[in-house]
Amino acid sequence: MEIQSVLLIGAGLMGRGIAESLLRSGLRIFWYDVRQEDLKKALMGIEKSFQKQIAKGRLSEEEARTCLANATLLDSLESKAEVQLVIEAVSEKLSIKESLFQTLNQICDEKTIFVSNTSSLSINTLGRMSKRPEQFMGMHFFNPVPVMPLVELIRGLKTSEETVETIKGLVAKLGKTPISAPDFPGFTVNRILVPMLNEAYFCVMEGALPEDVDQGMKLGCNFPMGPLELSDFIGLDTILSVLEIMHQGFGDSKYRPCPLLKNMVEAGMYGRKSGQGFYDYRS
């Protein structure tokens, strides 16, 4: 089956990036978020990004209009959704996802595939909650989605071969590259990346300057962004939740979140999105 229409749930950082990639690849999207103002803001962000691409000569006015016309913002999830795929990119809370799947099961055809952009929750658990484990899998994008070429594909024990092949086809249509990752907390990339970011927080807690840590990893390891700049970009709340899931899931103290990270999240310092993290973005 070739995916042509998608119901996308969530208009946060990842939802917005996923929407932009889907629209750029000519897919029709129906897009919903409980926070309607976030949804409108996210669409405006995509319009701005298209304007930049027009200015760089990579997209024509006409193409941008066609892509944008393929987006329908939904103000509720009540009416029947005639889509082949649902992508969920909502908060990393099992209870939120479970109640979303209940709603989706009432409006979607039983053949519709559901995928989750979760960065760490169990695909087998989510598959069971979705009540369609054969048509369920993880499809984990990376930030900024329009730029990053990777998608991690995580199958549950019950995911059908047909579902995997359909999603691989979608990844190809988006011009991205898939890797298969096992269904364990953090999958593959975050399992390696997030403990490294956590170690950078310990360095700062022990007295290193964020600028020095970032400069060190950029100049010493050729990272495009230092670990603290990257953390502010991803969102410190998101990283804390991934670490907590890995810590709980593996029961290994090496994944314990740095106390400085916990304090910063407690203080509402989430990084770029809240204006303050390891750096200040308020001016």
Per DSSP (E only), the strands in 122-264 are: 136-141, 150-155, 177-180
Q: Does 157 bind ligand CAA (CB under 6 A)?
A: no
- In the chain, the amino acid numbered 172 is A
Rounded-to-integer distance, Cα 91 and Cα 38, Å: 14
Min. distance of Cβ 251 from ligand CAA in angstroms? 22
Strands 28-32 and 5-9: parallel
Min. distance of Cβ 10 from ligand CAA in angstroms? 13
Catalytic residue, chosen from 70, 130, 190, 241, is 190
How many positions of this chain bind ligand CAA (CB under 6 A)?
Answer: 16
Residue 222 Rama label (left phi>0; alpha psi -120 to 50; beta): left
Residue linked to tokens 């100049």: 219
The residue within the footprint of ligand CAA, chosen from 4, 36, 91, 143 (CB under 6 A), is 143
Residues 240-259 that bind ligand CAA (CB under 6 A): none
The residue within the footprint of ligand CAA, chosen from 163, 190, 231, 274 (CB under 6 A), is 190
Catalytic residue, chosen from 152, 229, 241, 274, is 152
Which is nearer to ligand CAA, 58 or 254 (by Cβ)?
58
Strands 71-74 and 85-88: unpaired
- In the chain, the amino acid numbered 99 is S
Pair 43, 71: CB distance under 8 Å: yes
Min. distance of Cβ 60 from ligand CAA in angstroms? 16
Could you tell me the two tokens for 78?
């009540």
Which residues contact ligand CAA (rule: CB under 6 A)? 49, 56, 119, 142-144, 146-148, 190, 193, 224-225, 230, 234, 238
Catalytic center residues: 119, 140, 152, 190
